[in-house]
Chain A
Amino acid sequence: MGGTSVEDLKPGDHACLTFSDHDERLDIVAAFVRDGLGLGQKVLCLTESVSEAALAEELAGRGLGIATAARSGQLAVGPSGLFFAPQGSFDPAATIGRWQDQIDQANREGYSGLRVTGDMCWALRPVNGVAELMAYESRLTRMLAGQNATAACQYDRQCFDTLTLATAADSHGMNVTAVTYHHDALLRICRQHVPTGVRVAGEIDYRTIEPLTRALSEALALDDHIDVNLVHLRFMDTATAGVIVQTALGLTGGQRMNVRCAGMPWEILAALGLGELTGVTMTAVRHDG
């Protein structure tokens, strides 16, 4: 299931955004919002599993200057249930109508386009009309094509069943996923969009030196300042700690690397002297439990 990177979305695109965990969702949503604001588009974030306040906080926490955009109305964060199923039922035609209203309004307000991302988990509830969801998604794909609007519908891989996910992938024009360097039951290595970097979660050892090295060098090719997010890394061996130290030693000129980690990975990297290297910052992160 080849996916498109969120950064490649263009006006007219209707994407099915799938993700494996909370952090990955927020990272992709943050990139979607960042790119929209940067392009002068109006951005609408419809959320449900994450509260509106928490989403705004997460976006700000990732370094997006959203306060000004929220004040001016360029960015709006709202509940997805209200957009898709007001009064508790889902009406595809009415929802398509609301889309057209939003697009027209963004154009009238002088924005260069509209970007909407919606958390689709409302559809997991027994909402009246939800059986029409995939027909609606296909219709929305056709409706958005040629319009100055981009949509990314968030389908949580942990919550939706495989059949729904496959149908969702078909009814959208494209599939947006994290850029993944390695994924198995123990370990996931992904590109992190905001801030640019790499996210490694689970347990890592010498068998995945190659994808880790590739992920780090690709991140450095994209940005001079990368964030190495090891917050959810539970186990790290000496060989992979060595890859991080080597990457840090290879930093040139203005390149910088911030390594966020907890527990043994922090202790190992600190013992190896990572934090003493030029261009490296180490941030110890507390686990909430």
Chain B
Amino acid sequence: MGDTDAFGKLELELRRGVVVLATLSQLRAPRYGYELRQALADQGMPIEEGTLYPLLRRLESQGLLKSDWKTDSGSPRRYYSLNTDGRKLLKKLIEAWQGMNDAMGRLLKEDGQ
């Protein structure tokens, strides 16, 4: 039971660390919240709605995303996409992630996993 609790908490920590990168990576083209969530889930990164939708607003207020209301298919939807600063940040985050991923790959390999 204790192991399950610890795994759940630590996995949550790991996921928290990549939520922003995963979100930004899917906003190179405009997407609205529900569509983005589906896209992330389809690629194996489900993020709770209660986390994702506020995150989009926060990233926008931090000057990384731009958004527009569109009513193409009936009901109005707010579409988010990376702006210039967001693209620059995404590039840096990808480099940092790849560096960490390589290091973790080496570490886990050395550990015989």
A binds B: no
